[in-house]
Amino acid sequence: MTAANGLGALAAYTRLVATAFAQQAGFVPTVGGPASPSVDTGGGADPPVTAPTAPGARTPTAAPTRPPSDVPSPIQPSVDVPTVFTKAAHSISAGLMLPFAVLASLVFTLIAIVIHAISSARATSSLQRRLAQATVESRNRT
């Protein structure tokens, strides 16, 4: 992320956020607006908890430094949204696809019914022929 590849503003914002995080400043710089800390409303928050120290040891205190509120954010978001219209497209073949598909399904259904009827007729005649042969053979045995 450098200015050479067009990401200088993003790099500057990243550095600003990293600095605020490292300082534990309690705010996140906004994108496109001034970098200002969050406002403390004084809602009765608990006092900060500190670690116990040995007698005579110094307690380090560091006041968080916040960037001035008049520094503008390095990133200015663009809100330009291009309006794109798609040219109206009309296709005769696309309009005929549904009727063609319905007609094809009806034809294939009719073919399936005819094949089923023919196979049933053959199976029935084959069964009748076998039964007739079985009857003739049983009469010849007796």
Domain ranges of the chain: 1-36+67-77, 90-142
Q: Which residue has the tokens 């968080």?
A: 64
Bridge partners of 34, per DSSP, are 72
pLDDT score at 40: 45
Predicted TM-score of the model (pTM): 0.33
Top-confidence residue, 125 or 86: 125
Q: Residues 115, 120, 125, 130: what is their CA dihedral angle, to the nearest 10 degrees?
A: 130
Share of the chain above pLDDT 90, in %: 27
> What would the mean pLDDT of 55-72 be, rounded to a whole number?
54
Cα 8 from Cα 30, distance rounded (Å): 17
> What would the mean pLDDT of 48-74 be, rounded to a whole number?
53
pLDDT digits (tens, 9 = 90+) for 1-48: 677 777 777 888 888 888 887 887 677 777 765 555 544 444 444 444
Which amino acid is it at 94? Answer: A
